[in-house]
Amino acid sequence: MKKIVLTGGPSGGKTTALSILKETFGNKIALVQEAATLIYSGGFPRKDNSPVHIEHAQNIIFYTVHQLEHLAEVTSNAKVMVCDRGSIDGAVYWPYGPENFFTSMHSSLEAELARYDAVIHLSPPPEKDFYQATNVRTESLQQAFEIDDKILKIWEKHPNRLVVPREKHYFEKAEIIKNFVEKLISE
């Protein structure tokens, strides 16, 4: 099973892309939901942005990502798994830097990059009117851009990465994503 990760800054359209891909490809793909959303919407406290709080949250998210991906591998006959974020994303939120993140997770950037066959990066919308706040998302649009830049940087060494340009209209992004995934399914 090929594994694709959808990544990028907050409100880039990753969750919407998952819905579009599922509607387009049906059982040819297995979807893996975003671990952070599952954890935060499930009640994990997000009131305190202290380093110790972030450290605990990112530990849980990292291992949940691994478990959700493994579960999809063993329970689906799909050719392709599409993940809403990957195990590497947590490194940009880690209060002590990416190198410390991977050491703390008993892994490395290289090992985590090797887990994915392809990466699709979706950036937040360029205008405030298109940025969607949620009960899980706490960042302003400017903070979303800063996170997006860090995510772009941390995934830059992946050999099969598609960076979808910031667009006002999501339909353009969706078409690019569908074509990329269709190519991977047919290989």
Residue 127 has pLDDT above 70, yes or no: no
Of 22-31, 45-54, 78-87, where does mean pLDDT reach its minimum?
Answer: 45-54
- Rounded to an integer, what distance in angstroms lies between the CA atom of residue 130 and that of residue 126? 8
Give residue limits of the domains in the chain. 2-186
The residue with greater pLDDT, 119 or 9, is 119
Residue 35 has pLDDT above 80, yes or no: yes
How large is the average pLDDT for residues 49-54?
Answer: 85
Banded model confidence at residue 132, pLDDT cuts 50, 70, 90 = low
DSSP string, 117-141: SEEEEEPPPSSGGG----SS----H
- Rounded to an integer, what distance in angstroms lies between the CA atom of residue 120 and that of residue 18? 12
pLDDT at position 8 is 92
Residue 140 has pLDDT above 50, yes or no: yes
Place of tokens 């954890």: 39
Q: Which CATH architecture has domain 2-186?
A: 3-Layer(aba) Sandwich (3.40)
Backbone φ and ψ of 167, nearest 5° = -135, 145
The residue with greater pLDDT, 43 or 151, is 151
Give me the chain's average pLDDT, please: 88
Q: Give the bridge partners for 16, in sequence order.
A: none
Banded model confidence at residue 143, pLDDT cuts 50, 70, 90 = confident
This prediction's pTM: 0.88
pLDDT at position 128 is 56
3-state secondary structure of 164: strand
Please state, in angstroms and as integers, the Cα–Cα distance from residue 127 to each residue in 24, 136, 141, 149, 166, following that order. Answer: 28, 20, 8, 16, 10
Residue 133 has pLDDT above 70, yes or no: no
The residue with greater pLDDT, 111 or 79, is 111
> Which tens digit of pLDDT belongs to each residue from 72-94?
999 999 999 999 999 999 999 99
- Rounded to an integer, what distance in angstroms lies between the CA atom of residue 101 and that of residue 168? 33
